[in-house]
Structure formats: C-alpha cells, structure tokens
Amino acid sequence: MSITIEAVKAALSTVIDPNTGKDLVSSRSAKNIQINGTNVIFDVELGYPAKSQIDGIRKASIAAVRTIEGMGSVTANVYSKIVAHSAQRGVKLLSNVKNIIAVASGKGGVGKSTTSVNLALALAAEGAQVGILDADIYGPSQPMMMGISGRPESADGKTMEPMENYGLQVSSIGFMIDPDEPMVWRGPIVTQALTQLLEQTNWRDLDYLIVDMPPGTGDIQLTMSQKVPVTGAVIVTTPQDIALLDARKGLKMFEKVGIPILGIVENMSTHICSNCGHAEAIFGAGGGEKMCGEYGVDFLGALPLTMSIRQQADSGKPTVVADPDGPIAVIYKQIARKIAIKVAEKAKDMSSKFPTIVVKND
C-alpha cells in the first residue's frame, strides 16, 4: 500500500496546535509534504514566535503521521515565520519593522510600562526580534526598567542606533535628557519628538516593536493613530472601577481610528501576601473580563500585585529575565503568545506584492 499526501494530511489534521486551538491542516501550517517510498518529510510553519513550543508540536505531528499503515521514517521541520501584517488604512508600514503593538492605558499607575517591557522580553525569549519604543515623553521609564544608561550613538548625525540589553532594541527620550530634567514641552513638540524617535532610530529587522504609550487619550495617542502603522493595541487596566472607566476611553479611541484591539491585560488583579501567601482582590475582581465581554475583545490574562514585579522592574532586571521560569514570567509569556497569535491571524500586508503603477503623459 503506497502512502499518499492525502493520508499524511488526514493524519496532520488530527494534530491541534495547543496555542491557536486549530489543526495543522485547516490553519495551513502543514506545508511541503514530500513522500519518498515509505518515508515522509514535511514542514510545520507557525506564524508566531514559538521557541518553547516547537519540540512539542514536532513530536505530536510525527506521532500522528506514524499511525499511517506502512509508514517508514517521518521527519518534521517545525519553525516560526513572522510576517508583516496590515495596519490602519493610509499609513505606510516601516521597512525595518514588521508589526507595531501599542500597549496603552486610560490612566497612569496601572503598570503599563512594566507590562510592556515584560511582554517585549517574553516575545524575545521565544525567538523573535523585538524592540521597545518608550513613547511616554513626559515620564520615560524604560531606560531604568531595562537597566540601560548612556547616550545612543549616531554615525551620520541624523539617525541613531537603538540602545540594547537582554536582546531588546530600545529607544527612549530618557536616553537624551538628564533623569531629573522635566519635559516642559507643548503637544506639537512632543509629537514631533515621538515621530523622530520612531523613524530616526535604526531598528534592525524587528518582528515586533512594542510601544509603551503614555496614559490617556491625548496628542501622542492621536499621532500614533494617524502617522504610525499600528498592527494592534493592548489595553492594560486594573480591576478597579475608576481604572476601567478610563480604560474604556482608551479602547474606544483605538476603535474610532481603526486600530484593532488585540485584547485586555488585567494588572494587579489580586494581592499576594509575601508572608502568608493569602490572595486578596483589593482592587476588585473580574473587572477586566467584564469589560472584554462588553466590548467583544479578548481577555489576555491577569497578573497579581506582588512586590517582586515592582522590585525587579526598579532594579533594571524585569521579571521575565530575573525569574524566567517563575510563575509570573509564565503568565507574561502566555499573554505575549496570545498577542502574537492574534497578530498572526490578522490580514497580511500585501503592499510589497503589488507593483507601483506610474502613469506618464508623453
């Protein structure tokens, strides 16, 4: 009995990617099936960074194909391929950044910057090329959280190299000013500074650029929505009613300008006592999930209020690098994977596929 491509596809259709919940055939992940006698070789292409997931998916797909009668050797090449996805209409993608993810909140103090840096580090830990843009011009915190000091280098006097640590490329106004110097700038200057940080940083082939947004819905948010090709936005909130009130405004703003909401992260969801381990919902419970239900967006996950998250960020070694296998880092990695999968499911950017048509009058 000869082995057919149809039989291999039927076997692979029983393998469910545990992260997307879809089988390898209907999701078009299984590719390049080659049969040589009784031996089979095939590829499994994942659209999200998955360094820690590849081995499990490889074993499951090989085991499924081996169930075919008369099967010889089975080889599966499982890999990630992250592509550029479409942004809001009329905004051109950056040539050296595939996907821009804005991490926003309606109000300050909900842990948005800490969430941004840990999500960026989680994506990098899974093998992606990741950058972080500190868009909070008035209160830049990424230099401290990333443990980076000094000034960025510029070879041509016009562009600058990103600062680096923990495998992340970082750009922030905080690298160019004294830490104690207040930014007494009006809106137009602030938006110009943000545009320059984004466009004049020599990002190197980023799969994802995480933008740590300032709180609120002001000038910087408007500039981001009109001039920056944002693939999607993540809203960070606490379960507290006041925080949710402002988070709703942030969500509605992104909806109005055509930027899809990738989901909501609930920060400080429960307080864990460092002495006895007792968990208490001091800011209320279930607010983030309720908001997701109201607006039809995904609940990405909840993070506890613990001293370690704050201490690690303050010391310049965020949780995902300080305790990469700890329970909180695992939550950040799960949230980051959900975000990457949401991005992968979006429409791909097809602008490079079409030729530019120029009409000339002779």
Which residues, 6+ apart, have CB-to-CB distance to 308 below 8 Å?
319, 322, 323, 328
111 annotated among ligand-binding-site residues = yes
112 annotated among ligand-binding-site residues = yes
What is the residue whose two structure tokens read 């969500």? 251
Number of C-beta neighbours around residue 164 at 10 A: 13
CA distances from 264 to 69, 140, 331 (A): 46, 23, 14
What Rg, from alpha-carbon coordinates, does the chain have? Answer: 22
- Strand ranges, E, within 244-337: 261-266, 271-272, 279-280, 299-302
Of 162, 163, 168, 173, the C-alpha closest to 195 is: 173
108 annotated among ligand-binding-site residues = yes
Which residues, 6+ apart, have CB-to-CB distance to 222 below 8 Å?
191
Burial track 79-100 (b if 16+ CB lie within 10 A, e otherwise): ebebebbbbbeebebbeebbbb
Number of C-beta neighbours around residue 359 at 10 A: 4
CA–CA distance, 19 with 21 (Å, rounded to integer): 6
Of 119, 163, 124, 121, the C-alpha closest to 143 is: 163
Of 340, 310, 262, the C-alpha closest to 141 is: 310
113 annotated among ligand-binding-site residues = yes
Number of C-beta neighbours around residue 32 at 10 A: 10
Which residues, 6+ apart, have CB-to-CB distance to 156 below 8 Å?
none
92 annotated among ligand-binding-site residues = no
CA–CA distance, 179 with 176 (Å, rounded to integer): 9
Could you list the residues known to form a binding site for ATP, using ranges.
Answer: 106-113
Which residues define the annotated binding site? 106-113
